[in-house]
Amino acid sequence: MSKVIAIANQKGGAGKTTTTASLGFGMAKEGKRVLLIDADPQGSLSISLGIGRQDMLSYSLSNIFEKIMNDKEDEIDFEEGIYHHEEGVDLMPCNITTCDIELRLTGATARELVMRYYVENMREKYDYILIDCMPSLQILPLNAFACADSVLIPVKPDLLNVKGLEQLMNTIKNVKNKWCFNPRLSIEGIVFTQVDVRRNNDREFMNLLHNLFGKRVKIFDSIIPLSVKGAEVSNSGVSIYKYDPKGKLADSYHNLTTEVLANE
């Protein structure tokens, strides 16, 4: 049975896309069958995997949503639109047309559960499905939470993120218990990203989060360092393992991959 992980933080710039891609590539290197789902209309994950002009895609996640919302599930070809990357991961891309889908979802029946149909039909094909969520807590991220087994939360050292993290964790709790969209949902863990351990503020922030959340959720030992390679690889079309295989960023994401796989 596959595992579905949503990578989420409503604060932008937390490293969600780089984490989704690097974790997916890392899992593929370990022999896992991996599907990445770009659920952010900005299409950052699609761009990072080398899809140029994603706004011109003939088929993307928005087409899947369109068919499900129009009760045309029987017309879905689950292989259509899948991009097979040379480094062993598959991708269901996303583009700006998904913004229109999000607006239409607002008035749809069971609007938070549309993505679930697609994901449930993809589970048997993959060991891991990773969903890169947009930086919000609106309909698209809720769709991801409603079909995921767990949520992995990248957090960069910034005191403004503390309040947002509480809000995110409360939303996850509501999806699980209050709204009952997904009773099995759990928090995979928090991973610190863009960290410069030489800075007192970064070390103090990590200590603060350990004190605030360490007894409630897992905080991964792996720490993703601040690195210019992170920005560069996001536009390279290849993984950090290929772009800078001996760098600290590749090493840290390898360690994170090992930790996540140990949660099986």
Q: Is a pLDDT exceeding 70 seen at residue 201?
A: yes
> What average pLDDT does this structure show over 60-72?
90
Q: Say how far apart CA 158 and CA 156 lie, in whole Å.
A: 6
Per cent of the chain over pLDDT 90 is 77
CB 25 within 8 A of CB 87: yes
> What average pLDDT does this structure show over 17-29?
97
Domains of the chain: 3-261 (3.40.50.300)
CB 191 within 8 A of CB 259: no
pTM for the model: 0.95
Q: Say how far apart CA 227 and CA 224 lie, in whole Å.
A: 9
Tens of pLDDT along 206-230?
999 999 999 999 999 999 999 999 8
CA 208 to chain centre: 24
Q: Say how far apart CA 130 and CA 135 lie, in whole Å.
A: 16
CA neighbor of 254 nearest in space, from 214, 246, 127? 246
CA neighbor of 3 nearest in space, from 34, 29, 26? 34
pLDDT band for position 53 (cuts 50, 70, 90): low
The pLDDT value recorded for residue 105 is 79
